Structure 1
Amino acid sequence: MTSRRTFIIKSSLATAAVLAVPSFAFTMNKKEIGLQLYTLREEIPKDIKATLEKVSSAGFTTVETYGFSIKDQFWGLSPAELKKILDTNHLKAVSGHYGIGSFLSDGDTAELKAAIAAARILKSEYLTIPWIDPPFRKNSEDYKKIAGRLNEAGKMCQDAGLKLAYHNHDFEFEDHNGVTGYEILLKETDKDLVYFEMDLYWVVRAGKDPLHIFKENPGRFKLWHVKDMDKLKPALNAEVGSGSIDFKSIFKEAKLAGMEHFFVEQENNFAINSFDSIKTSCVFISNNLIRK
């Protein structure tokens, strides 16, 4: 029979072993698997309730919203109505993609204030900016201006009890006289006000190494998009684990990156259909990338 003293000693040794491997200790606590709902953009407008039921049944516990507008809200639903459906399916909208292009271009706060109000009703942690329109990112000065606006938006979010994040594509990695737009955004934004959602697919697609970026900017990448790349056609996505991106090495550096939440996203190239694809990705992540 194991005595209480023996149990405590063994437990202490086990704890020490876990702490000796930071990446393992980190993944031990990452039980949530999220989904960017844009993946299901064809299904959501048809039947949001049935779609979110399937998201929950597939094994996801968190989601990231998209598509909010002042006029139509969330596909015709108010934030409160969407929150009720999410709660019914035991899903948490920890982040949302909100288009605030008018604020980034001319400083008009109407869209930003509406987004903040919606995110608060959903009890989200992050309000994430998904895109910069092409006319406003032509050169390094444009990116510096955007960085300033991000700092302003970050302060407004902070005052409202939220955090602001910025989501990348590949255009941020274009060179502007020896510096990329992404480098400018990282340098010119306040690390206490502006966080980053790294879309791993787009970083790799741009020919960059996520691990190198983590090392240069530790702790700033609180959110990730986990989206795989088709082995034969890089322009296409793939179910996580079936493509060419080495997610195991990336997840080992989750602590260095500062990652708190991640979301599966697949925009195209579904093996059978979008629901089967997200389930396949969820199973791979659960079995290979996180420990519960």
Structure 2
Amino acid sequence: MTFRKKIAAQMYSVRKEFEADPEATLKELKRIGFTAIQVDGMRGHSVEKISQLVKKYDFEIAGMHIKHDRFMTDLDGIVEECYAFGCKTIYDKYIDDEEQHTEGYRRTKAKLIEAVAKLAPLGFRIGVHNPEYDYNNQIDGRKVLDYLTDPVNGYGVYSEPDTYWMTIAGENPLESFKKYSGRAPVVHLKDYRSGFELADIKQNLAEVGEGEVDIEGIVRWGEANKVEYYCVEQDYSRIGIFKSLEIGFNNLLEIGERIQRETSQ
């Protein structure tokens, strides 16, 4: 697969634009060069409408982000939505704040493993995305993300590591990614610039390839460890969200294509 096809736009980046005009948003992402997106909710639109637009603009689906409470109560509805998009890779977006405690983590893991047991035979992959507190918090002596992705009776939950939140938690993203070799088919790339408060995402979040995260090192790791999609995510932008995404796309494309050329020689 060409590296270009591995670059996906994480739709949380354009949540406001998508809510206001989903077709114009997808059209602009296509203009930038994206051929894949990661779905992050319908933002008030119907599944039927959005799935039709995705087909119209010929986007691949690099997994689907699903709200935590739906994994707890609406697994059948999640499956129906996935089939509408022709996607069988689904992620718990993040554990709700009220479930950020020991019993909540245990409930979450039990539900995710239950989903794996039910859906893996149908070809589904179930995973979990991490905010920074999944590294700062622990359960049974394990960081939360490690605990959630530890296999149970042969059933495993995939990781969807996020470079920005790892950095905020004080992790080295490249070293942390190595723990999930073969277990992270989709990764989130967000960049970071130092010199601001850790909580000041509007200042310390940089365009992908413009900050201090070792994006090239992560891509080299990813190409050796079966990463299928690199999701460019930009929670906030100081220069316009589409401009930020375009900078990130172009930087990532240059890095990825160069690495592919080197490894094919």
TM-score (norm 2): 0.86
- Report matched runs for 1:1-292 at 5 Å: 29-32=2-5, 33-67=7-41, 74-101=42-69, 103-104=71-72, 108=73, 111-139=74-102, 141-176=103-138, 178-189=141-152, 192-233=155-196, 234=198, 235-236=200-201, 237-268=205-236, 270-290=237-257, 291=260
C-alpha contact 2:11 2:39 (8 A) present in aligned 1: yes
1:262 aligned partner, one-letter code: Y
2:227 aligned partner, one-letter code: M
Distance in 2, Cα, partners of 1:190 & 1:97: 25
In structure 2, relative to structure 1, the CA distance for the partners of 1:58 and 1:112 (3 Å cut) is: same
Where structure 1 has 5 or more consecutive residues not aligned to the other structure, the ranges are 1-27, 68-73
The answer to which of 241-250 and 83-92 deviates more is: 83-92
Where structure 2 has 5 or more consecutive residues not aligned to the other structure, the ranges are none
Deviations 1:178-214 (A, max 9, x none): 4321221122456754211111111121111233334
CA RMSD between the two structures: 2.2
Distance in 2, Cα, partners of 1:144 & 1:253: 31
1:163 aligned partner, one-letter code: R
Distance in 2, Cα, partners of 1:152 & 1:43: 35
Distance in 1, Cα, partners of 2:155 & 2:30: 33
Identity of counterpart residues, as a percentage? 25
Distance in 1, Cα, partners of 2:121 & 2:27: 34
How many residues are matched? 252
Q: How far off is 1:149 after superposition?
A: 1.4
Deviations 1:74-114 (A, max 9, x none): 2343323212211221212231111141543xxx3xx2211
Distance in 2, Cα, partners of 1:289 & 1:52: 23
Distance in 2, Cα, partners of 1:288 & 1:102: 37
Larger helix proportion of the pair: 2
The answer to which of 187-196 and 88-97 deviates more is: 187-196
Distance in 2, Cα, partners of 1:244 & 1:152: 38
Q: How far off is 1:126 after superposition?
A: 0.9
Larger Rg: 1
Q: How far off is 1:59 after superposition?
A: 0.7
Question: SS where residue 115 of structure 2 aligns?
Answer: helix
Distance in 1, Cα, partners of 2:175 & 2:55: 38
Q: How far off is 1:129 after superposition?
A: 0.8
1:13 maps to none
1:43 aligned partner, one-letter code: E
Distance in 1, Cα, partners of 2:238 & 2:154: 39
In structure 2, relative to structure 1, the CA distance for the partners of 1:217 and 1:102 (3 Å cut) is: closer
C-alpha contact 2:62 2:186 (8 A) present in aligned 1: no
Distance in 1, Cα, partners of 2:70 & 2:251: 39
In structure 2, relative to structure 1, the CA distance for the partners of 1:148 and 1:202 (3 Å cut) is: same
In structure 2, relative to structure 1, the CA distance for the partners of 1:136 and 1:75 (3 Å cut) is: closer
Q: How far off is 1:166 after superposition?
A: 0.7
C-alpha contact 1:98 1:128 (8 A) present in aligned 2: yes
